[in-house]
Structure formats: C-alpha cells, structure tokens
Amino acid sequence: MIWIYAVGERPDLPLPAIAGLGGTVLESIPHGPLLAVASRHARSGFAPEADALWAHEQVVEAVMDQRAVVPMRFGTRVGDDAAAHAVLDAEREHLLEVLERVRGRVEFALRARRPSPAPAGSGRDHVRTLLGEARAAAALHDPLAAVAVEARRSDVRRAGELLRAAYLVDACDVAHFRRSVRLLEREHSDVALVCTGPWPAYSFVNV
Amino acid sequence: MSADDVALVDLLDRLLAGGVVLGGDVRISLADVDLLDLRLRLLLRGVT
C-alpha cells in the first residue's frame, strides 16, 4: 500500500528529512509538474489514532514549509505506483487549480463557546436566544473573514458552541489575523475563543 | 486540556473531514469523526 500525505508542486525539490508513518522513509512520486509525498507499507492502513494523525500532519507541515501543497485526507492510499500515477493524472487539473488557490496561504481554525449557555426557557425565549447567538457568532466571524482570503463556517457541534470556522489567510496577513483574534477576545470576554494554526489548507481544498 | 489536546480537536476536524481524497479509497466517514471527537473528549476527562 502507498500512503499519500500531500500533493505538491516542485517535484525537483528534495523532500524534507522527516520520517513518515511508522518511521518509514518518505518518497516522492513525481508526475509532470506535481509530486505525491508518500510512504510504502506492507499493512493495508493506519487507524486514526492521535500518534498517526500527528505523524501525517508533521509530514504535510514539513512539505508545506518548502512549497505549495494540497493536503490529503487521512487515510488516502493507493495500491501501487501505477494507481498513484493514475489518480494524479485523473485529478491533475483540479490539483493544479487548488495549488494555485492555497499557495502562500495558511489555514486557521476558530471555535467559540459560551462557558455558561443560557438556560432553556419558553419558546419565545428560545427564539430570542438563537437570534442572539447568531448575532454573536457573526460578530466574531465577520471581522476575521474580512482579514482572510476565504472563510468557511461549519455546524456547531456542542451545547454553548457559537462558532466553528476556518480561515484561509495570506502569509503576509497572519500577524494581522492573530491581532484580530486577540482583539475579539478582549471585546467578547463572555466567550471562550480557541484559535489554532497555521494549518495546511485542509478546509479549502474541496471546492 | 493541554495545548496539544486543544489542537487535537482541530486536527481531527481537518485530517478526517478536510483534505482531498484521491482515488476514493478513504473509509472514514463524518460519523467516524464525531465518534472520534466523542472518544477524545471522554479520554480528556479521564472517563475511559
């Protein structure tokens, strides 16, 4: 099985000196202007456990430090070299397009939560609460989206969670983005903000 | 939660729900992500 971490540009550049999953040696599979960053394994896959997830992530980040990359979803793998070339060929245009979009950009993740969500009341109270939360989420999201090149909100998943979003930020705007997050933290002291990154652009590679 | 644990939540969101799927051989679904998320939270609370 060949595990694929990312597809990048500049197949002429050497890969970073970093081990792949299970301590394997990283390999480059060049295909025209693209390369797949991969490793070979006798086993059929890896379970999504913390160690394996971080190992995959470290490879993508190391490659991202050198060149534009399209990160693969954890678990992306092919049977052999012929299959790797076949998918690179089939997705060539799409991958080149995405590389163009993410070049020189990084992703930040933001989650916002109210530590003490309002208790459930009447139907009218509930509607009022929902409206208030939608406004609060927009007040956090909009200023950050304005600094980002692209922004995506996903569904909130927990009680009290106001916002779960990803921002694609130009490398030259990273400091500005971080300042904006700190400013929001001060302005909205009733909300717990968690911002992580920079990440490879995982949330912006599927059109 | 330590900084690493906090980042792990976002890591799950990215590696298991984001990224490009080449070749259609990824057997992780969004339901798995929620399950992992839940397991992670239980782990962090020391419930498991």
pLDDT tens by residue, B10-48: 998 899 889 998 876 555 555 556 666 666 665 555 543
* pLDDT (0 to 100) of residue B39: 63
The shortest C-alpha distance from B48 to chain A (Å) reads 15
Q: Do A74 and B15 touch (CB under 8 A)?
A: yes
Q: Do B22 and A72 touch (CB under 8 A)?
A: yes
Say yes or no: A20 contacts chain B, CB-CB below 8 A. no
Six token digits for residue A74: 């954890």
Say yes or no: A87 contacts chain B, CB-CB below 8 A. yes
* pLDDT (0 to 100) of residue A207: 65
Closest by CA position to A63, among listed A121, A135, A118, A14:
A14
Say yes or no: B13 contacts chain A, CB-CB below 8 A. yes
Chain B contact set for A202 (CB, 8 A): 14-15, 18-19
pLDDT tens profile A65-113: 999 999 999 989 999 999 999 999 999 999 999 999 999 999 999 999 9
In this prediction, residues A162-185 reach a mean pLDDT of 97
pLDDT tens profile A105-159: 999 999 999 877 666 667 777 777 778 888 999 999 999 999 999 999 998 887 7
Question: Which helix (DSSP H) or strand (DSSP E) does residue A7 occupy?
Answer: strand A2-9
Distances (CA, A) of B30 to A1, B16, B18: 24, 8, 10
pTM summary value: 0.87
- Select from B11, B23, B26 the Cβ nearest to the Cβ of A53: B11
Q: Do B28 and A75 touch (CB under 8 A)?
A: yes
* pLDDT (0 to 100) of residue A42: 94
Query: What ipTM goes with this model?
Result: 0.86
* pLDDT (0 to 100) of residue A114: 87
Closest by CA position to A102, among listed A36, A9, A14, A23:
A9
Six token digits for residue A5: 């971490």
- Please enumerate in sequence order all residues whose Cβ is within 8 A of that of A98, keeping only pairs 6 or more positions apart, or say none: A70, A205, A207, B20
Q: What is the DSSP string of B31-47?
A: HHHHHHHHHHHHHHTT-
pLDDT > 90: percent of chain A: 79
The range of the structural domain enclosing residue B35 comes to 3-44
Closest by CA position to A198, among listed A111, A62, A107, A68:
A107
Domain spanning A105-204: which CATH class is it, in words? alpha beta
Q: How many domains does chain B have?
A: 1
A59, pLDDT greater than 50: yes
